[in-house]
């Protein structure tokens, strides 16, 4: 084994390279034992401290002199600094000017790409393509690691069933099975397959926000969460657990409470479940000021909540400086003990060791690599391909799409000429000046073959105050000073001269994301009026919908012939949208979330329970579980998404009518491309446990496959069903499958399935 000698501030430390073996662990343990043997109590506590770099910390932390703090050994890592030279400089302070020279870990919210930006995570989820997601995460890792970042606060895998919550855009949608697959894909993409060893172009993931953050009451961000343990284990925990099983190196605690105790101080969550039940052995970081916020939650002062966080199993304190400022005193008063501090410190050092920082603190800061590997043409091509895969064709009457490159194409809407709006929320490393606008993309895509006319048509929303709240972080779409009438008249003149009109409407990118909850989730009023006026002209209208959440589109679904949902698709959004609009790419995305008819239906999700009075038909029935004024169905169901070709499904054939817990059966369906062009269909397998010891959902996704067929081609698509797909957590939280009948459903959306039944003996 190769020995590495590292001279850190005059101290000679002896490290070794490691392999994914016990001897690798033994080497790591020896190294960390020896290092911790030299650390003072305050240096150990310093490792637990994670201040934010840059302006956002001003006034929030006690120590704005971050460099001084680093020199004193009071900092374990920093986050959200951009720039390889800057990071190198800061690392140099830690390594050369602090007593023990322990390198810092540098984190960042690289959640859908670094400079090459991919679709927002909800858009990535809509690809149902795990290779694509892993590839996007891999590219993010290659770029971020070249720029000095070795740790990303991603993946965010909070199941969300309430689209009022803005952070639905950052997550994986409403389904635990799909969410678990996505969690794994992200972790493998960032970290590779060996969680004990990081190459210098891999970065450590941080699964968040553990736990249940997506279930905040009324979709209001940071709000209270309260749910049964059955629901936690069966519906909300699986994606976090999947990330842990894939080897994710760190976990972020959520802001919300769980069972009446904030996650950040919840020992059951952080230790009993995460470590004892799931075997997690990485480190846990709080969310931004998570410890400090527990004083507002009302469970104690900073002294008390910091002690509780440490004892619950938190290892690193993001921004609060609760650990830094209170733990020494808590130790002296025996409120905490030294083993608890040592344990947290050890976990941080282990992460640094696995990342190779003790061997070479600068291995992630290579200016040459930064020049060569960030925002490369190859990465941009991948971003464009994956962006196009994320789009969901919600409807397409009379094959209005794809468009031909000819005649006059009108482009209308306040989002059509915006560059800053394209990448999407939390694209912190994106250069906002780079993305093409949709108008530019269209001009490039048609060249001289067609004429593009543009009119803005409206502001984002009538209410100026709301508009200001919605366009933050340098993503302003300046308000147009003209009157509504003037803007509309211009748009109608463009429509008049056009053969087809593309209406680029929806949300701005900062209408979703953190702290962006909305009580109304339709297309904003000013744009809604514009759309209605365009429809009234009788021209063919294609709605290119920008959104970070499910919107209520009942009117649009009734009146607009074609709707292409493009989310926020990253740096290559515009060319990718054009690829799909003109049919160079056939859309294949499927919704990872339900689109409700109105806000009153929320939460509306496909994998619900049946109740004792389920609605049997489609129309209202007295004394059944339904509303007087709206059907129970959504506008667009989970799994929905059209193609420019059509697919037909044959009956579901089962290899046997019965199976045992040790056995398996195969479900087969014949898929045919009945249309005129090649296309990709996401074939979805759902299962219903017809009788259980606890009530079971009417449908649960248990498999999916992307299948590409040429025009006229047919193929048998097979799914293997074994006990692992039938298990659930029962009343006593035992993971079991129960004998009885199961319904198998296969189709191209959760509400369009063919069925068969088998019995588990």
Residues from 513 through 532 that contact ligand BGC (CB under 6 A): 514
287 as an active site residue: the answer is yes
Q: Shortest distance, CB of residue 399 to ligand BGC, whole angstroms? A: 41
- Residue 151 binds ligand BGC (CB under 6 A): no
Exposure on the CB side of residue 71, measured as CA atoms within 13 A: 6
- Residue 158 binds ligand BGC (CB under 6 A): no
- Residue 114 binds ligand BGC (CB under 6 A): no
Q: Which is nearer to ligand BGC, 207 or 591 (CB)?
A: 207
Task: Report d(CA 31, CA 14) in Å as an integer.
Answer: 7
- Residue 568 binds ligand BGC (CB under 6 A): no
- Give yes or no for a cis peptide into 155 (omega within 30° of 0): yes
- Give yes or no for a cis peptide into 209 (omega within 30° of 0): yes
Residues from 159 through 218 that contact ligand BGC (CB under 6 A): 208
- Residue 582 binds ligand BGC (CB under 6 A): no
- Residue 112 binds ligand BGC (CB under 6 A): no
Q: Which is nearer to ligand BGC, 425 or 562 (CB)?
A: 425
Q: Shortest distance, CB of residue 79 to ligand BGC, whole angstroms? A: 6
Q: Shortest distance, CB of residue 157 to ligand BGC, whole angstroms? A: 12
- Residue 440 binds ligand BGC (CB under 6 A): no
State the catalytic residue, choosing from 109, 175, 287, 689: 287
687, 679, 655, 680: which is closest to 669 by C-alpha? 655
Q: Shortest distance, CB of residue 167 to ligand BGC, whole angstroms? A: 8
Find residue 3's DSSP bridge partners: 16
Residues from 63 through 102 that contact ligand BGC (CB under 6 A): 80
Query: In 3-state terms, what secondary structure has residue 557?
Result: helix
Q: Shortest distance, CB of residue 514 to ligand BGC, whole angstroms? A: 5
Q: Shortest distance, CB of residue 141 to ligand BGC, whole angstroms? A: 16
For residues 280-296, one letter each, b for 16 or more C-beta atoms within 10 angstroms of the residue's C-beta and e for the rest, the string is: bebbbbbbbbbbbbbbe
- Please give the helix or strand (H or E) that residue 666 lies within, else none: strand 664-673
Find residue 543's DSSP bridge partners: 503, 563
Using Cβ positions, the residue closest to ligand BGC within the complex turns out to be 153
Total residues contacting ligand BGC by CB under 6 A comes to 7
Q: Shortest distance, CB of residue 54 to ligand BGC, whole angstroms? A: 11
Q: Which is nearer to ligand BGC, 474 or 481 (CB)?
A: 474
**Can you tell me which residue has the tokens 């000013």?**
526
Task: Report d(CA 385, CA 745) in Å as an integer.
Answer: 30
Question: Alpha helices, DSSP H only, in 313-437?
Answer: 322-332, 338-354, 367-373, 377-390
Beta strands 3-8 and 11-16, pairing class = antiparallel
152, 168, 331: which is closest to 249 by C-alpha? 152
Q: Which of 31, 128, 153, 649 binds ligand BGC (CB under 6 A)?
A: 153
Site string for ligand BGC, 616-645 (x = CB under 6 A): ------------------------------
Length of the chain: 761
CA distances from 168 to 125, 171, 356, 520, 563 (A): 11, 5, 34, 15, 21
Site string for ligand BGC, 285-324 (x = CB under 6 A): --xx------------------------------------
Q: Which of 27, 43, 109, 507 binds ligand BGC (CB under 6 A)?
A: 109
Tabulate helix, strand, coil % of the chain (nearest 5).
35, 20, 45
Task: Report d(CA 328, CA 334) in Å as an integer.
Answer: 10
78 contacts 106 by C-beta, under 8 angstroms: yes
Q: Which is nearer to ligand BGC, 170 or 174 (CB)?
A: 170
Q: Shortest distance, CB of residue 738 to ligand BGC, whole angstroms? A: 38
- Residue 738 binds ligand BGC (CB under 6 A): no
Give catalytic residues, as residue numbers.
Answer: 287
- Positions that interact with ligand BGC (CB under 6 A): 80, 109, 153, 208, 287-288, 514
């Amino acid at each position: 084994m190769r020995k590495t000698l590292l001279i850190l501030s005059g101290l000679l430390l002896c490290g070794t390279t490691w392999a994914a073996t016990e001897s690798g662990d033994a080497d790591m343990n020896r190294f960390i034992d020896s290092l911790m043997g030299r650390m003072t109590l305050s240096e150990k506590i310093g490792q637990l401290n994670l201040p934010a770099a840059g302006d956002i910390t001003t006034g929030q932390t006690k120590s704005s002199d971050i460099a001084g703090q680093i020199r004193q050994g009071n900092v374990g890592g920093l986050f959200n600094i951009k720039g390889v030279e800057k990071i190198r400089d800061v690392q140099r302070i830690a390594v050369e000017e602090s007593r023990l020279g322990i390198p810092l870990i540098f984190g960042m919210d690289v959640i859908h790409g670094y400079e090459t930006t991919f679709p927002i995570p909800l858009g990535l989820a809509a690809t149902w393509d795990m290779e694509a997601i892993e590839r996007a995460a891999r590219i993010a890792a290659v770029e971020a690691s070249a720029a000095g970042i070795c740790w990303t606060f991603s993946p965010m895998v909070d199941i969300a069933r309430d689209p009022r919550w803005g952070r639905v855009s950052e997550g994986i949608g409403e389904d635990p099975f799909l969410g678990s697959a996505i969690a794994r894909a992200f972790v493998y993409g960032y970290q590779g397959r060996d969680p004990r060893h990081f190459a210098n172009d891999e970065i450590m993931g941080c699964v968040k926000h553990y736990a249940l953050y997506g279930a905040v009451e009324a979709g209001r961000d940071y709000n209270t969460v309260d749910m049964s343990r059955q629901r936690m284990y069966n519906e909300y925990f699986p994606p976090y657990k999947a990330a842990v099983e894939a080897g994710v190196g760190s976990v972020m605690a959520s802001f919300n409470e769980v069972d009446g105790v904030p996650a950040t101080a919840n020992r059951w969550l952080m230790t009993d479940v995460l470590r004892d039940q799931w075997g997690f052995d990485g480190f846990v970081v709080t969310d931004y000021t998570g410890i400090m916020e527990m004083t507002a939650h009302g469970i104690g002062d900073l002294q008390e909540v910091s002690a509780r966080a440490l004892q619950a199993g938190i290892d690193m304190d993001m921004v609060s400086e609760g650990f830094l400022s209170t733990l020494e005193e808590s130790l002296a008063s025996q409120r905490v003990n030294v083993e608890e501090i040592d344990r947290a410190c050890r976990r941080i050092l282990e992460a640094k060791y696995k990342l190779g920082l003790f061997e070479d603190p600068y291995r992630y800061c290579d200016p040459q690599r930064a020049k060569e590997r960030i925002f490369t043409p190859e990465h941009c091509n991948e971003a464009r391909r994956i962006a196009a895969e994320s789009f969901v064709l919600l409807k397409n009457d009379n094959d209005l799409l794809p468009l031909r490159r000819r005649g006059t194409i009108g482009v209308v809407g306040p989002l059509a000429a915006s560059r800053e709006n394209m990448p999407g929320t939390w694209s912190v490393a994106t250069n906002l000046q780079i993305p093409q606008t949709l108008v530019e993309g269209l001009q490039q895509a048609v060249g001289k073959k067609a004429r593009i006319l543009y009119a803005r048509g409206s502001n984002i929303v009538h209410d100026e105050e709301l508009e200001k709240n919605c366009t933050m972080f340098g993503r302003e779409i300046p308000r147009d000073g003209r009157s509504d009438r003037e803007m509309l008249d211009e748009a109608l003149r463009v429509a008049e001269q056009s053969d087809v009109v593309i209406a680029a409407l929806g949300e701005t990118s900062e209408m979703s994301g953190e702290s962006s909850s909305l009580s109304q989730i339709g297309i904003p009023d000013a744009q809604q009026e514009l759309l209605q006026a365009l429809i009234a002209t009788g021209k063919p209208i294609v709605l290119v919908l920008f959104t970070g959440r499910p919107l209520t589109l009942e009117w649009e679904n009734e009146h607009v012939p074609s709707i292409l949902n493009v989310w926020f698709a990253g740096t290559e959004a515009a060319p990718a949208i054009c690829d799909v609009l003109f049919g160079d790419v056939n859309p294949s995305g499927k919704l990872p979330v339900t689109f409700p008819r109105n806000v009153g239906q929320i939460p509306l999700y496909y994998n619900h329970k049946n109740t004792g009075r389920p609605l049997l038909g489609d129309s209202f029935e007295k004394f059944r579980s339904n509303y007087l004024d709206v059907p129970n169905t959504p506008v667009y169901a989970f799994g929905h998404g059209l193609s420019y070709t059509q697919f037909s499904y044959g009956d579901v054939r089962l290899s046997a009518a019965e199976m045992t817990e040790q056995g398996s059966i195969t479900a087969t369906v014949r898929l045919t491309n009945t249309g005129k062009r090649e296309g990709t269909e996401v074939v979805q397998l759902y299962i219903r446990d017809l009788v259980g010891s606890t009530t079971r959902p009417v449908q649960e996704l248990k498999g999916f496959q992307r299948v590409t067929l040429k025009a006229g081609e047919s193929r048998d698509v097979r799914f293997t069903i074994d006990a692992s797909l039938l298990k659930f957590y029962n009343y006593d939280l035992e993971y079991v499958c129960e004998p009885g009948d199961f319904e198998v459903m296969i189709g191209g959306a959760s509400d369009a399935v063919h069925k068969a039944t088998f019995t588990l003996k």
